[in-house]
Structure 1
Amino acid sequence: MAVDAVIFDIGNVLIEWQPERYYDRVYGEVLRKQLFATVDLHAMNDEVDRGGDFRETIYATADRFPDYADAIRDWHDQWIELAKPVIPHSLELLRALRSKGLPVYCLSNFGIGSFAFAETQYPFLAEFDRRYISGHMGVIKPHPEIYRMVEEDCGVTPANLLFTDDRPDNIRAAADRGWQTHLFEGPQGWAERLVAEGLLTEAEAAPA
């Protein structure tokens, strides 16, 4: 089936997103396990991704858990340490697709404030032909509404969209709407899929 546009997730597809790794390094594994068992930090982050104020949402959570307040505030204050590094081969694939004139979009669970900050650290985030950022959309993956909003905005037939994401639930939701999908487990597998679809040659998809 033809592919008229390729859609990338960002976290763990183009930029590593491993908050636990940061907390293990800075606070140690024992405290990190205690923190994550006590405070649902990923649910807090979902609120940011739905459009909640980046700083206020995190600081309000810190105020509710004073024993862990400093560590929780790090989710805001040290955010770039949670969201790094870039996955180079994935970025090369994005640019290779665009160099061939194929529209490339992003669809990411990302807050308004956190994405604005990420843009200052990762200039390539401006390279997408269209950007679908959950904080601005008011809904997060895998809710069906976010996929419907993408379809309505871009005008591409769902069956002609190829979407990669690292989370199976996000992939299933897209597939349920008729999108072509690829579960991202590393850039090499994604590169092989793009070659199999005839979107890139093996040489174009190879890492630099």
Structure 2
Amino acid sequence: MKPEAVVFDIGNVLMEWNPERFYDGAIGEARRRQLFAEVDLIGMNESIDAGALFRETIHALADATPAWGPEIRMWHDNWIEMASPRIDHSVALLRALRAKGVPVFALTNFGVHSFAYARTQYDFLSEFDQTFVSGEMGCIKPDPEIFRLMEASCGVAPEALLFTDDRADNIAAAAARGWQVHHFTGPEGWARRLVADGLLNETEAGL
């Protein structure tokens, strides 16, 4: 069936999210590898995505790990450098869908405070018809509960939703609930899927 609404992940779909690249530039690849091996920065970030405070969570880990304290605090102080640049073609697709009257939602693993900050840096984050932020919902993808909560709120049947995400586990979780899905590996492939599903023509999709 033709999708009735489109759901975008944000990180690595609408803007790049690459902490490793930032740290490689800031402290060198060898030290970055050591840092990520010795400190659970990914777990820290997942707790923020699930609703933990942004600055306080990062600083608490830095205080508890003084050998890496300055580097851990970079996660807060240089966060926007990890969450950049924007992926312009994907942003154009979001706007093209909205111009056609297609409802567009965001479903993202994002902290409450980091998302509020990101909205001051990226205008497109305020352009969704509805935005579902894991930190506000208290659960993160790929937990089935976050998909269920969105379904209950958006009013669109699962099988009428078309969802794109860069992570295969999130795509699999959505597909298990009957959503139509597209594994995002780049904006051109996503554009072609939107054309194939009859939501945009090639010109509108930038092809």
TM range (shorter): over 0.9
Amino acid at match of 1:149: L
* Counterparts of 2:24 and 2:47, CA distance in 1: 23
Structure 1 unaligned blocks of 5 or more: none
- Counterpart of 2:30? 30
User: Do the aligned residues in 1 keep the contact of 2:2 with 2:198 (CA within 8 Å)?
Assistant: no
- Counterpart of 2:201? 201
Amino acid at match of 2:65: F
* Counterparts of 1:120 and 1:71, CA distance in 2: 24
Length-normalised TM-score, structure 2: 0.99
- Counterpart of 1:56? 56
* Counterparts of 1:193 and 1:124, CA distance in 2: 21
- Counterpart of 2:128? 128
Matched residue of 2:203: which SS?
helix
Alignment of 1:103-118 (within 5 A): 103-118=103-118
Matched residue of 1:202: which SS?
coil
Amino acid at match of 2:61: T
The alpha carbon displacement at 1:2 in A equals 2.0
- Counterpart of 1:168? 168
Q: Alpha carbon RMSD of aligned pairs, Å?
A: 0.6
* Counterparts of 1:123 and 1:2, CA distance in 2: 29
- Counterpart of 1:92? 92
Matched residue of 1:204: which SS?
coil
Matched residue of 1:52: which SS?
coil
Matched residue of 1:148: which SS?
helix
Residue by residue over 1:50-104, the C-alpha shift from the partner in whole angstroms, topping out at 9 and shown as x without a partner, is 1100001111111121111101001011110110000000000000000000000
The alpha carbon displacement at 1:141 in A equals 0.2
- Counterpart of 1:141? 141
Flag as ranges the 4+ runs of structure 1 deviating above 2 A: none
- Counterpart of 1:191? 191
Matched residue of 1:85: which SS?
coil
- Counterpart of 2:2? 2
Matched residue of 1:142: which SS?
coil
Number of matched pairs: 207
Matched residue of 2:14: which SS?
coil
Amino acid at match of 2:102: L
Amino acid at match of 2:194: L
Amino acid at match of 1:180: Q
Matched residue of 1:164: which SS?
strand
Structure 2 unaligned blocks of 5 or more: none
* Counterparts of 1:123 and 1:86, CA distance in 2: 10
Amino acid at match of 1:128: F
